[in-house]
Protein backbone atom coordinates (compact mmCIF):
# COMPACT_ATOMS: atom_id res chain seq x y z
CA UNK A 1 0.00 0.00 0.00
CA UNK A 2 1.56 3.25 -1.11
CA UNK A 3 1.61 6.45 0.91
CA UNK A 4 -0.80 9.31 0.16
CA UNK A 5 -0.10 12.46 2.16
CA UNK A 6 -2.90 14.52 3.62
CA UNK A 7 -1.57 18.02 2.95
CA UNK A 8 -1.09 17.60 -0.80
CA UNK A 9 -3.22 17.98 -3.92
CA UNK A 10 -3.15 15.24 -6.58
CA UNK A 11 -3.68 14.69 -10.28
CA UNK A 12 -5.18 11.64 -11.95
CA UNK A 13 -1.81 11.14 -13.63
CA UNK A 14 -0.19 10.54 -10.22
CA UNK A 15 1.49 13.89 -9.64
CA UNK A 16 1.25 15.84 -6.40
CA UNK A 17 1.15 19.61 -5.90
CA UNK A 18 2.13 21.53 -2.77
CA UNK A 19 1.50 25.26 -2.25
CA UNK A 20 5.01 26.55 -1.48
CA UNK A 21 4.31 30.21 -0.67
CA UNK A 22 2.85 33.01 -2.78
CA UNK A 23 1.89 31.81 -6.24
CA UNK A 24 4.43 28.98 -6.20
CA UNK A 25 3.42 25.33 -6.38
CA UNK A 26 5.93 22.51 -5.95
CA UNK A 27 5.30 19.40 -8.08
CA UNK A 28 6.44 15.80 -7.89
CA UNK A 29 5.16 12.27 -8.51
CA UNK A 30 3.36 10.18 -5.94
CA UNK A 31 4.64 7.19 -3.99
CA UNK A 32 2.25 5.05 -6.02
CA UNK A 33 3.77 6.36 -9.27
CA UNK A 34 7.39 5.78 -8.24
CA UNK A 35 6.47 2.30 -7.06
CA UNK A 36 4.83 1.45 -10.38
CA UNK A 37 7.80 2.78 -12.34
CA UNK A 38 10.44 0.85 -10.42
CA UNK A 39 14.09 1.91 -10.42
CA UNK A 40 14.10 5.45 -11.82
CA UNK A 41 17.24 6.08 -13.85
CA UNK A 42 16.53 9.34 -15.64
CA UNK A 43 14.44 12.47 -15.15
CA UNK A 44 14.02 14.92 -18.01
CA UNK A 45 13.40 18.28 -16.38
CA UNK A 46 11.70 21.25 -18.05
CA UNK A 47 13.73 24.43 -18.55
CA UNK A 48 13.45 27.14 -15.93
CA UNK A 49 11.50 30.00 -17.51
CA UNK A 50 9.48 27.73 -19.78
CA UNK A 51 5.69 27.59 -19.64
CA UNK A 52 3.77 24.52 -18.58
CA UNK A 53 0.07 23.81 -19.06
CA UNK A 54 -2.05 21.72 -16.71
CA UNK A 55 -2.44 18.23 -18.16
CA UNK A 56 0.37 18.67 -20.68
CA UNK A 57 3.79 17.05 -20.62
CA UNK A 58 6.41 18.93 -18.62
CA UNK A 59 9.14 16.32 -18.93
CA UNK A 60 9.63 12.60 -18.56
CA UNK A 61 10.66 10.01 -16.03
CA UNK A 62 12.40 6.84 -17.11
CA UNK A 63 12.90 3.59 -15.28
CA UNK A 64 15.04 0.73 -16.53
CA UNK A 65 12.17 -0.55 -18.64
CA UNK A 66 9.79 2.32 -19.33
CA UNK A 67 9.41 5.97 -20.25
CA UNK A 68 6.65 7.85 -18.50
CA UNK A 69 5.43 11.38 -19.19
CA UNK A 70 5.49 13.89 -16.38
CA UNK A 71 2.25 15.86 -16.66
CA UNK A 72 2.09 19.23 -14.96
CA UNK A 73 -0.89 19.40 -12.59
CA UNK A 74 -1.01 23.20 -12.90
CA UNK A 75 -0.43 25.93 -15.50
CA UNK A 76 2.21 28.63 -15.20
CA UNK A 77 5.90 29.40 -15.49
CA UNK A 78 8.64 27.03 -14.35
CA UNK A 79 10.61 28.92 -11.71
CA UNK A 80 12.66 26.07 -10.30
CA UNK A 81 13.71 22.49 -11.01
CA UNK A 82 15.34 19.94 -8.72
CA UNK A 83 18.87 19.77 -10.18
CA UNK A 84 19.82 16.98 -7.78
CA UNK A 85 17.77 14.60 -9.94
CA UNK A 86 20.19 15.03 -12.84
CA UNK A 87 22.83 12.90 -11.11
CA UNK A 88 20.63 11.12 -8.60
CA UNK A 89 17.23 10.36 -10.17
CA UNK A 90 16.75 7.52 -7.68
CA UNK A 91 15.84 10.17 -5.06
CA UNK A 92 12.38 10.12 -6.66
CA UNK A 93 12.11 6.48 -5.54
CA UNK A 94 13.43 7.00 -2.04
CA UNK A 95 11.72 10.32 -1.24
CA UNK A 96 8.91 11.05 -3.72
CA UNK A 97 7.20 13.67 -1.53
CA UNK A 98 10.26 15.54 -0.24
CA UNK A 99 13.81 15.38 -1.63
CA UNK A 100 12.46 13.92 -4.88
CA UNK A 101 10.34 16.93 -5.84
CA UNK A 102 10.68 17.76 -9.53
CA UNK A 103 9.69 21.31 -10.43
CA UNK A 104 8.21 24.55 -9.07
CA UNK A 105 5.59 26.44 -11.02
CA UNK A 106 4.49 30.04 -10.58
CA UNK A 107 0.75 29.97 -11.17
CA UNK A 108 -0.80 32.58 -13.45
CA UNK A 109 -4.23 33.48 -12.10
CA UNK A 110 -5.85 32.21 -8.94
CA UNK A 111 -3.92 29.68 -6.89
CA UNK A 112 -7.07 28.44 -5.17
CA UNK A 113 -8.81 27.91 -8.45
CA UNK A 114 -5.85 25.95 -9.87
CA UNK A 115 -5.71 23.71 -6.80
CA UNK A 116 -9.49 23.24 -6.69
CA UNK A 117 -9.27 21.37 -10.00
CA UNK A 118 -7.04 18.73 -8.42
CA UNK A 119 -7.97 15.67 -6.39
CA UNK A 120 -8.14 15.60 -2.61
CA UNK A 121 -6.06 12.96 -0.78
CA UNK A 122 -9.17 10.81 -0.32
CA UNK A 123 -10.13 11.10 -3.99
CA UNK A 124 -6.58 10.14 -4.97
CA UNK A 125 -6.49 7.19 -2.55
CA UNK A 126 -9.51 5.83 -4.38
CA UNK A 127 -7.64 5.63 -7.70
CA UNK A 128 -4.11 4.85 -6.46
CA UNK A 129 -4.66 1.35 -5.10
CA UNK B 1 -8.35 -14.68 -24.83
CA UNK B 2 -7.10 -15.37 -21.32
CA UNK B 3 -3.39 -15.37 -20.66
CA UNK B 4 -1.48 -18.62 -20.36
CA UNK B 5 0.38 -19.39 -17.15
CA UNK B 6 3.33 -21.64 -16.43
CA UNK B 7 3.12 -24.38 -13.77
CA UNK B 8 5.07 -22.06 -11.45
CA UNK B 9 2.58 -19.19 -11.52
CA UNK B 10 1.02 -20.10 -8.13
CA UNK B 11 4.52 -20.15 -6.61
CA UNK B 12 5.47 -16.56 -7.54
CA UNK B 13 3.56 -15.46 -4.49
CA UNK B 14 3.94 -16.67 -0.95
CA UNK B 15 4.70 -15.65 2.57
CA UNK B 16 8.45 -15.50 2.09
CA UNK B 17 8.27 -14.13 -1.47
CA UNK B 18 8.42 -10.47 -2.53
CA UNK B 19 5.55 -8.69 -4.28
CA UNK B 20 5.75 -10.01 -7.81
CA UNK B 21 4.60 -7.93 -10.75
CA UNK B 22 3.34 -9.80 -13.81
CA UNK B 23 2.87 -8.69 -17.40
CA UNK B 24 1.41 -10.04 -20.60
CA UNK B 25 4.42 -11.37 -22.48
CA UNK B 26 3.31 -12.73 -25.85
CA UNK B 27 0.09 -14.14 -24.40
CA UNK B 28 1.71 -15.36 -21.18
CA UNK B 29 1.19 -13.91 -17.72
CA UNK B 30 4.84 -13.78 -16.70
CA UNK B 31 6.75 -12.18 -13.81
CA UNK B 32 8.52 -9.02 -14.98
CA UNK B 33 10.05 -8.41 -11.57
CA UNK B 34 9.99 -9.80 -8.04
CA UNK B 35 12.07 -7.15 -6.22
CA UNK B 36 13.36 -4.66 -8.76
CA UNK B 37 15.05 -5.07 -12.10
CA UNK B 38 18.25 -3.53 -10.73
CA UNK B 39 18.41 -5.85 -7.73
CA UNK B 40 17.67 -8.97 -9.77
CA UNK B 41 20.15 -7.92 -12.45
CA UNK B 42 22.88 -7.37 -9.82
CA UNK B 43 22.12 -10.73 -8.20
CA UNK B 44 22.76 -12.54 -11.49
CA UNK B 45 26.01 -10.65 -12.12
CA UNK B 46 27.36 -11.18 -8.59
CA UNK B 47 25.62 -14.30 -7.21
CA UNK B 48 22.70 -15.96 -8.92
CA UNK B 49 19.13 -15.50 -10.08
CA UNK B 50 16.42 -18.07 -10.80
CA UNK B 51 14.12 -17.46 -13.76
CA UNK B 52 10.94 -19.27 -14.70
CA UNK B 53 11.09 -19.47 -18.48
CA UNK B 54 8.64 -22.31 -18.88
CA UNK B 55 6.81 -20.28 -21.51
CA UNK B 56 9.55 -21.20 -23.98
CA UNK B 57 8.58 -23.82 -26.56
CA UNK B 58 10.11 -27.30 -26.76
CA UNK B 59 9.71 -29.57 -29.77
CA UNK B 60 11.03 -33.10 -30.10
CA UNK B 61 12.28 -34.05 -33.54
CA UNK B 62 12.89 -37.76 -33.98
CA UNK B 63 13.52 -40.29 -36.70
CA UNK B 64 16.32 -41.65 -38.88
CA UNK B 65 16.46 -38.47 -41.01
CA UNK B 66 15.80 -36.00 -38.17
CA UNK B 67 19.31 -34.59 -38.47
CA UNK B 68 19.03 -34.09 -42.23
CA UNK B 69 15.69 -32.33 -41.67
CA UNK B 70 17.17 -29.94 -39.10
CA UNK B 71 20.16 -29.34 -41.37
CA UNK B 72 17.73 -28.15 -44.04
CA UNK B 73 15.65 -26.02 -41.63
CA UNK B 74 18.46 -24.26 -39.71
CA UNK B 75 21.50 -22.14 -40.53
CA UNK B 76 24.11 -23.69 -38.23
CA UNK B 77 25.74 -27.08 -38.87
CA UNK B 78 23.79 -29.71 -36.93
CA UNK B 79 26.18 -32.46 -38.11
CA UNK B 80 28.88 -30.99 -35.86
CA UNK B 81 26.84 -31.82 -32.75
CA UNK B 82 27.67 -34.86 -30.67
CA UNK B 83 25.06 -36.34 -28.34
CA UNK B 84 24.79 -34.19 -25.18
CA UNK B 85 25.77 -31.03 -27.04
CA UNK B 86 23.62 -27.99 -27.71
CA UNK B 87 23.85 -25.50 -30.53
CA UNK B 88 22.54 -21.97 -31.04
CA UNK B 89 21.04 -21.63 -34.50
CA UNK B 90 18.37 -19.87 -36.57
CA UNK B 91 15.57 -20.78 -38.93
CA UNK B 92 15.29 -18.51 -41.96
CA UNK B 93 12.78 -17.80 -44.70
CA UNK B 94 13.96 -18.25 -48.29
CA UNK B 95 14.65 -14.48 -48.41
CA UNK B 96 17.04 -14.69 -45.44
CA UNK B 97 14.67 -13.12 -42.90
CA UNK B 98 14.46 -14.96 -39.61
CA UNK B 99 11.60 -17.30 -38.60
CA UNK B 100 13.10 -17.71 -35.11
CA UNK B 101 16.33 -18.26 -33.24
CA UNK B 102 16.60 -21.45 -31.23
CA UNK B 103 18.68 -24.02 -29.42
CA UNK B 104 19.10 -27.54 -30.81
CA UNK B 105 19.90 -30.28 -28.31
CA UNK B 106 21.18 -33.57 -29.68
CA UNK B 107 19.69 -36.24 -27.39
CA UNK B 108 20.89 -39.15 -29.53
CA UNK B 109 21.69 -39.83 -33.18
CA UNK B 110 18.03 -39.75 -34.18
CA UNK B 111 16.49 -37.63 -31.43
CA UNK B 112 16.69 -33.88 -31.00
CA UNK B 113 15.04 -31.34 -28.71
CA UNK B 114 14.67 -27.84 -30.08
CA UNK B 115 13.80 -24.84 -27.94
CA UNK B 116 12.04 -21.85 -29.49
CA UNK B 117 10.69 -18.49 -28.39
CA UNK B 118 7.34 -18.52 -26.60
CA UNK B 119 5.80 -15.97 -28.93
CA UNK B 120 6.75 -18.09 -31.95
CA UNK B 121 5.63 -21.56 -30.84
CA UNK B 122 2.61 -21.83 -33.16
CA UNK B 123 4.42 -20.23 -36.10
CA UNK B 124 7.52 -22.40 -35.71
CA UNK B 125 5.54 -25.60 -35.28
CA UNK B 126 3.59 -24.89 -38.46
CA UNK B 127 6.76 -23.92 -40.33
CA UNK B 128 8.45 -27.19 -39.39
CA UNK B 129 5.35 -29.34 -39.73
CA UNK B 130 4.62 -28.17 -43.29
CA UNK B 131 8.13 -29.21 -44.32
CA UNK B 132 8.28 -32.46 -42.38
CA UNK B 133 9.67 -35.33 -44.51
CA UNK B 134 8.68 -38.96 -44.17
CA UNK B 135 10.55 -40.62 -41.35
CA UNK B 136 10.62 -37.60 -39.03
CA UNK B 137 8.23 -37.06 -36.14
CA UNK B 138 7.65 -33.60 -34.70
CA UNK B 139 6.10 -33.36 -31.28
CA UNK B 140 5.27 -30.19 -29.33
CA UNK B 141 6.35 -30.86 -25.73
CA UNK B 142 5.84 -27.25 -24.57
CA UNK B 143 2.79 -27.92 -22.40
CA UNK B 144 4.29 -30.77 -20.40
CA UNK B 145 7.80 -29.31 -19.97
CA UNK B 146 8.92 -26.58 -17.61
CA UNK B 147 12.17 -24.64 -17.87
CA UNK B 148 14.08 -22.97 -15.06
CA UNK B 149 17.18 -20.86 -15.70
CA UNK B 150 19.66 -20.71 -12.83
CA UNK B 151 22.12 -18.01 -13.86
CA UNK B 152 25.12 -16.33 -12.28
CA UNK B 153 28.63 -17.08 -11.01
CA UNK B 154 27.22 -19.01 -8.03
CA UNK B 155 24.95 -21.20 -10.20
CA UNK B 156 27.20 -24.27 -10.18
CA UNK B 157 27.67 -24.11 -6.40
CA UNK B 158 23.95 -23.84 -5.81
CA UNK B 159 22.96 -26.58 -8.23
CA UNK B 160 25.62 -28.91 -6.80
CA UNK B 161 23.77 -28.84 -3.47
CA UNK B 162 20.64 -30.40 -4.95
CA UNK B 163 22.19 -32.95 -7.31
CA UNK B 164 24.71 -35.76 -7.05
CA UNK B 165 25.81 -35.32 -10.66
CA UNK B 166 29.23 -33.85 -11.36
CA UNK B 167 28.36 -30.48 -12.90
CA UNK B 168 31.98 -29.79 -13.86
CA UNK B 169 31.51 -32.42 -16.52
CA UNK B 170 28.78 -30.34 -18.15
CA UNK B 171 30.76 -27.81 -20.15
CA UNK B 172 29.22 -24.71 -21.81
CA UNK B 173 26.80 -25.73 -24.57
CA UNK B 174 26.72 -29.29 -23.25
CA UNK B 175 23.95 -31.00 -21.32
CA UNK B 176 23.05 -34.15 -19.43
CA UNK B 177 19.62 -35.75 -19.53
CA UNK B 178 18.09 -37.70 -16.65
CA UNK B 179 19.99 -35.78 -13.97
CA UNK B 180 18.32 -35.94 -10.55
CA UNK B 181 17.75 -32.40 -9.30
CA UNK B 182 15.92 -32.15 -5.96
CA UNK B 183 15.12 -35.81 -6.56
CA UNK B 184 13.35 -35.18 -9.88
CA UNK B 185 14.59 -36.11 -13.34
CA UNK B 186 15.74 -33.16 -15.39
CA UNK B 187 17.76 -32.23 -18.45
CA UNK B 188 20.53 -29.94 -17.23
CA UNK B 189 22.16 -27.74 -19.83
CA UNK B 190 25.02 -25.29 -19.33
CA UNK B 191 23.45 -22.52 -21.36
CA UNK B 192 21.67 -19.26 -20.70
CA UNK B 193 20.63 -15.83 -21.81
CA UNK B 194 22.39 -13.54 -19.36
CA UNK B 195 26.08 -13.44 -20.27
CA UNK B 196 26.92 -15.34 -17.08
CA UNK B 197 27.73 -18.94 -16.32
CA UNK B 198 24.60 -20.89 -15.51
CA UNK B 199 22.22 -23.70 -16.25
CA UNK B 200 18.94 -24.20 -17.99
CA UNK B 201 17.00 -27.00 -16.33
CA UNK B 202 14.21 -28.74 -18.24
CA UNK B 203 11.79 -30.88 -16.26
CA UNK B 204 8.27 -32.26 -16.28
CA UNK B 205 5.73 -29.51 -15.58
CA UNK B 206 4.52 -31.37 -12.49
CA UNK B 207 8.05 -31.38 -11.03
CA UNK B 208 8.70 -27.66 -11.57
CA UNK B 209 7.46 -26.44 -8.15
CA UNK B 210 9.76 -28.85 -6.31
CA UNK B 211 12.76 -27.62 -8.32
CA UNK B 212 11.79 -23.94 -8.00
CA UNK B 213 11.44 -24.08 -4.24
CA UNK B 214 14.35 -26.47 -3.77
CA UNK B 215 16.74 -24.31 -5.75
CA UNK B 216 15.64 -21.09 -4.05
CA UNK B 217 16.20 -22.69 -0.65
CA UNK B 218 19.59 -24.13 -1.69
CA UNK B 219 20.77 -20.74 -2.93
CA UNK B 220 19.95 -18.52 0.04
CA UNK B 221 23.56 -18.40 1.29
CA UNK B 222 24.76 -17.37 -2.20
CA UNK B 223 22.26 -14.56 -2.55
CA UNK B 224 20.01 -16.42 -4.99
CA UNK B 225 16.72 -14.62 -5.62
CA UNK B 226 13.91 -15.17 -8.12
CA UNK B 227 14.33 -12.92 -11.16
CA UNK B 228 11.84 -11.77 -13.75
CA UNK B 229 11.76 -11.06 -17.46
CA UNK B 230 12.79 -7.42 -16.86
CA UNK B 231 16.23 -8.42 -15.57
CA UNK B 232 16.45 -11.18 -18.16
CA UNK B 233 16.09 -8.51 -20.85
CA UNK B 234 18.69 -6.10 -19.41
CA UNK B 235 21.13 -8.98 -18.80
CA UNK B 236 20.85 -10.35 -22.33
CA UNK B 237 21.08 -6.82 -23.72
CA UNK B 238 24.38 -6.07 -21.97
CA UNK B 239 25.76 -9.35 -23.34
CA UNK B 240 24.44 -8.44 -26.84
CA UNK B 241 22.29 -11.55 -27.06
CA UNK B 242 19.52 -10.92 -29.59
CA UNK B 243 15.80 -10.95 -28.84
CA UNK B 244 13.43 -12.08 -31.58
CA UNK B 245 11.10 -9.22 -32.49
CA UNK B 246 13.81 -6.63 -31.76
CA UNK B 247 17.27 -7.60 -33.06
CA UNK B 248 15.82 -10.36 -35.23
CA UNK B 249 12.69 -10.51 -37.35
CA UNK B 250 11.36 -11.65 -40.71
CA UNK B 251 12.93 -8.50 -42.21
CA UNK B 252 16.32 -8.71 -40.47
CA UNK B 253 18.81 -11.37 -41.55
CA UNK B 254 21.21 -13.17 -39.19
CA UNK B 255 24.11 -11.51 -41.00
CA UNK B 256 22.69 -8.03 -40.41
CA UNK B 257 22.19 -8.95 -36.76
CA UNK B 258 25.87 -9.90 -36.49
CA UNK B 259 25.18 -13.63 -36.15
CA UNK B 260 27.23 -14.74 -39.17
CA UNK B 261 29.15 -17.27 -37.08
CA UNK B 262 25.92 -19.27 -36.72
CA UNK B 263 25.34 -19.37 -40.49
CA UNK B 264 27.25 -22.18 -42.23
CA UNK B 265 26.69 -22.11 -46.02
CA UNK B 266 29.48 -24.70 -46.40
CA UNK B 267 27.36 -27.42 -44.79
CA UNK B 268 25.08 -27.77 -47.84
CA UNK B 269 21.66 -26.45 -48.71
CA UNK B 270 19.25 -24.99 -46.17
CA UNK B 271 16.28 -22.65 -46.35
CA UNK B 272 17.57 -19.12 -46.81
CA UNK B 273 21.06 -20.18 -47.85
CA UNK B 274 20.98 -18.62 -51.33
CA UNK B 275 19.70 -15.30 -50.04
CA UNK B 276 22.27 -15.17 -47.25
CA UNK B 277 25.15 -16.08 -49.57
CA UNK B 278 23.99 -13.39 -51.99
CA UNK B 279 23.71 -10.86 -49.18
CA UNK B 280 27.21 -11.64 -48.02
CA UNK B 281 28.62 -11.50 -51.55
CA UNK B 282 26.95 -8.18 -52.34
CA UNK B 283 27.97 -6.74 -48.99
CA UNK B 284 25.64 -5.84 -46.13
CA UNK B 285 23.56 -2.68 -46.53
CA UNK B 286 22.99 -2.33 -42.79
CA UNK B 287 24.08 -3.96 -39.58
CA UNK B 288 23.47 -4.05 -35.87
CA UNK B 289 25.85 -1.98 -33.72
CA UNK B 290 26.11 -0.74 -30.19
CA UNK B 291 25.54 2.95 -29.51
CA UNK B 292 26.17 5.04 -26.42
CA UNK B 293 24.50 8.38 -25.75
CA UNK B 294 26.83 11.36 -25.58
CA UNK B 295 23.98 13.78 -24.84
CA UNK B 296 21.75 13.11 -21.85
CA UNK B 297 19.01 10.64 -22.75
CA UNK B 298 18.19 6.97 -22.93
CA UNK B 299 17.71 5.25 -26.30
CA UNK B 300 14.67 2.98 -26.52
CA UNK B 301 13.39 0.39 -28.99
CA UNK B 302 12.00 1.96 -32.21
CA UNK B 303 13.51 5.41 -31.66
CA UNK B 304 14.81 6.54 -35.05
CA UNK B 305 18.52 7.18 -35.65
CA UNK B 306 19.77 9.95 -37.93
CA UNK B 307 22.91 11.22 -39.65
CA UNK B 308 24.23 14.70 -38.92
CA UNK B 309 22.18 16.11 -41.83
CA UNK B 310 18.99 14.74 -40.26
CA UNK B 311 18.45 11.87 -42.68
CA UNK B 312 17.18 8.71 -41.00
CA UNK B 313 19.81 5.93 -41.10
CA UNK B 314 18.15 3.34 -38.91
CA UNK B 315 16.40 2.49 -35.69
CA UNK B 316 17.16 1.45 -32.13
CA UNK B 317 16.25 -2.21 -31.54
CA UNK B 318 16.82 -2.28 -27.77
CA UNK B 319 18.01 0.42 -25.39
CA UNK B 320 18.18 1.18 -21.71
CA UNK B 321 20.48 2.44 -19.03
CA UNK B 322 22.77 -0.52 -18.45
CA UNK B 323 22.19 -1.63 -14.86
CA UNK B 324 25.76 -2.96 -14.58
CA UNK B 325 27.60 -0.14 -16.33
CA UNK B 326 25.23 2.80 -15.70
CA UNK B 327 25.78 3.91 -19.30
CA UNK B 328 22.90 4.87 -21.62
CA UNK B 329 23.28 2.21 -24.30
CA UNK B 330 21.43 0.86 -27.28
CA UNK B 331 21.60 -1.68 -30.06
CA UNK B 332 20.71 -0.09 -33.38
CA UNK B 333 20.29 -1.39 -36.91
CA UNK B 334 22.04 1.23 -39.05
CA UNK B 335 23.06 1.85 -42.65
CA UNK B 336 26.47 0.29 -43.11
CA UNK B 337 28.19 3.64 -43.84
CA UNK B 338 27.43 4.77 -40.27
CA UNK B 339 28.55 1.68 -38.39
CA UNK B 340 32.29 2.27 -37.90
CA UNK B 341 33.38 2.56 -34.27
CA UNK B 342 33.04 6.09 -32.86
CA UNK B 343 30.83 7.31 -35.72
CA UNK B 344 28.53 10.01 -34.36
CA UNK B 345 24.81 9.46 -34.85
CA UNK B 346 21.72 11.27 -33.57
CA UNK B 347 18.84 9.53 -31.79
CA UNK B 348 15.40 11.12 -31.95
CA UNK B 349 14.32 11.04 -28.31
CA UNK B 350 10.86 12.46 -27.88
CA UNK B 351 11.34 15.00 -30.65
CA UNK B 352 14.90 16.00 -29.81
CA UNK B 353 17.90 14.81 -31.82
CA UNK B 354 20.45 13.77 -29.22
CA UNK B 355 24.02 12.81 -30.01
CA UNK B 356 25.34 9.26 -29.61
CA UNK B 357 28.32 7.31 -30.92
CA UNK B 358 28.94 3.81 -32.18
CA UNK B 359 30.69 1.75 -29.48
CA UNK B 360 32.01 -1.82 -29.21
CA UNK B 361 29.80 -4.74 -28.17
CA UNK B 362 29.14 -6.75 -26.11
CA UNK B 363 28.76 -3.98 -23.56
CA UNK B 364 29.44 -6.49 -20.81
CA UNK B 365 31.66 -9.57 -20.90
CA UNK B 366 32.20 -11.66 -17.83
CA UNK B 367 35.69 -12.68 -16.80
CA UNK B 368 35.85 -16.42 -17.28
CA UNK B 369 37.58 -18.86 -14.97
CA UNK B 370 40.75 -20.21 -16.58
CA UNK B 371 39.62 -23.82 -16.83
CA UNK B 372 36.59 -23.06 -18.94
CA UNK B 373 36.37 -23.95 -22.61
CA UNK B 374 35.02 -22.09 -25.62
CA UNK B 375 31.38 -21.14 -25.46
CA UNK B 376 29.95 -21.60 -28.88
CA UNK B 377 28.62 -24.88 -30.18
Cβ contact B99:B120 at 8 Å: yes
Burial class (CB in 10 A: 0-12, 13-18, 19+), B250: middle
pLDDT digits (tens, 9 = 90+) for B138-170: 999 999 999 999 999 999 999 999 999 999 999
Strand order in the sheet with B86-92: B86-92, B98-108, B111-116, B57-62, B137-140
Smallest CA–CA distance, residue B22 to chain A, in Å, is 12
pLDDT for B1 equals 65
Alpha carbons A33 and A72: distance in angstroms, whole number = 14
Residues paired with B225 in a beta bridge: B49
pLDDT digits (tens, 9 = 90+) for B265-293: 999 999 999 999 999 999 999 999 999 99
- H/E element, A60: strand A57-63
B42 and B169 within one domain = yes
B320 and B207 within one domain = no
Q: How many domains does chain B have?
A: 2
Cβ contact B187:B202 at 8 Å: yes
Q: Which domain holds residue B198?
A: 9-55+143-238
B292 and B233 within one domain = no
Residue B43 lies in a domain: yes
Inter-chain touch B323–A64, beta carbons under 8 Å: yes
Cβ contact A24:A104 at 8 Å: yes
Could you say which of B234, B321, B323 has the minimum Cβ distance to residue A42? B321
A47 chain-B contacts, CB cut-off 8 A: none
B311 and B205 within one domain = no
pLDDT digits (tens, 9 = 90+) for B164-196: 999 999 999 999 999 999 999 999 999 999 999
Count residue pairs from A and B with Cβ separation < 8 A.
37
Residue B303 lies in a domain: yes
Q: Tell whether the model's pLDDT for residue B374 goes beyond 50.
A: no
Residue B377 lies in a domain: no
B229 and B147 within one domain = yes
Q: Where are the alpha helices (DSSP H) in B191-335?
A: 208-218, 229-238, 273-282
Comparing C-alpha atoms, which of A115, A117, A102, A110 is closest to residue A30? A102
Inter-chain touch A42–B300, beta carbons under 8 Å: no
Residue B278 lies in a domain: no
Smallest CA–CA distance, residue B284 to chain A, in Å, is 31
Residue B251 lies in a domain: no
Residue B351 CB: number of other CB atoms within 10 A? 5
B152 and B40 within one domain = yes
Q: Which of B 302-321 lie inside 8 A of A, CB atoms? A: 320-321
B153 and B48 within one domain = yes
pLDDT digits (tens, 9 = 90+) for B53-87: 999 999 999 999 999 999 999 999 999 999 999 99
Domain of B160, CATH number, reads 3.30.1360.120
Residue B215 lies in a domain: yes
Shortest CA distance from A41: residue in chain B: B321
Q: Say whether B97 sits in a helix, a strand or coil.
A: coil
Q: Domains (ranges, CATH) in chain A?
A: 9-114 (2.40.50.100)
A44 chain-B contacts, CB cut-off 8 A: 297, 350
Q: ipTM of the predicted structure?
A: 0.87
Amino acid sequence: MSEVRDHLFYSEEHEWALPAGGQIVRVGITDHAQCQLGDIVFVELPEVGSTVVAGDSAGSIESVKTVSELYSPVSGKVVGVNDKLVDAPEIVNTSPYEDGWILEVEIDGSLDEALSKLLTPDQYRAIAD
Amino acid sequence: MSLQRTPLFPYYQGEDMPAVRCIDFGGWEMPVQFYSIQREHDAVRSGAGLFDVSHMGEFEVTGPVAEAFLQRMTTNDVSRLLPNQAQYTLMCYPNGGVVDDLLVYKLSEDRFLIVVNASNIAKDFAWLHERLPKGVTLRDRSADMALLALQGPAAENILSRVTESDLKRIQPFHFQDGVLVCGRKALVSRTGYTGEDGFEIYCEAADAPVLWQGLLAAGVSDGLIPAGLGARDTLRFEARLPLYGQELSDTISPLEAGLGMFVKPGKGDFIGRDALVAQKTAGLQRKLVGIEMIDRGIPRAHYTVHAEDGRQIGEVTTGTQSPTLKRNLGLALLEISHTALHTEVWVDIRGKKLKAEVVPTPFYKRTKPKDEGAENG
